[in-house]
Amino acid sequence: MATANNNLSVYDKTTIPNANKFRFGIVVSEWNATITEGLYKGAYETLIENGVLPNNIIRWNVPGSFELIYGCKKMQEQLVNAVIAIGSVIQGETKHFDFVCEAVSQGIKDLNVMNETPVIFCVLTDNNMQQAIDRSGGKHGNKGTEAAVAAIKMADLRRRS
């Protein structure tokens, strides 16, 4: 596995654009809250560390990952520079996992194609709870941190284009 024993969330802060004038929306799934709260914490702290003012971060909760699509669509209307979609889907015994993962990834892709405000995909799709823990603040870092870095870079790209 490529992530074995690696924290993938380390980044060079000097390569991140100044984010102090940007506003961000974060839409967080309540399902698998232990995981999504860890992802939110990583995203929030990274935005703050890179100059985003706390009152320029809007958080909305939605019931599950499937609902992230609608939440992100409505968040795009809030005059934010980028949106981060945070969710966690863990493989179970049925095909539900496949349907939810496919729908959410396609829905967020569609929002990026149809609208001007970028939506960052921070939805973990793990085989088990341990993998989710490892990627939401555990030994492999925090995908929320990575999503926040991507959101800053995409907000800057949007500003420059």
Q: What is the pLDDT of residue 93?
A: 87
Structure confidence at residue 31 (pLDDT): 97
CA distance 9 to 137: 9
Q: Does 54 reside within a domain?
A: yes
Q: Would you place residue 1 in the very low, low, confident or very high pLDDT band (cuts 50, 70, 90)?
A: very low
d(CA 149, CA 23): 14
Q: Are 97 and 12 in contact (CB under 8 A)?
A: no
Q: Which of 72, 77, 79 is nearest to 23 (CA)?
A: 79
The pLDDT tens digits of the residues spanning 51-61 come to 999 999 999 99
Q: Is 96 a catalytic residue?
A: yes
Report the alpha-carbon distance of residue 140 to residue 127 in Å, rounded: 15
Domain count, the chain: 1
Is the residue at 1 inside a domain? no
Q: Are β-strands 141-142 and 136-138 bridged in parallel, bridged antiparallel, or unpaired?
A: antiparallel
Catalytic residue among 96, 109, 139, 159: 96
Domain hosting residue 56, numbered range: 22-160
> Against a cut of 0.85, is the pTM above it?
yes
In a domain, 153, yes or no: yes
Is residue 80's pLDDT more than 90?
yes
Instruction: Calculate the average pLDDT of the chain.
Output: 94
For residue 112, give the CATH number of its domain. 3.40.50.960
> Among residues 56, 79, 61, which one has the least CA distance to residue 71?
61
Task: Indicate whether 22 pLDDT > 70.
Answer: yes
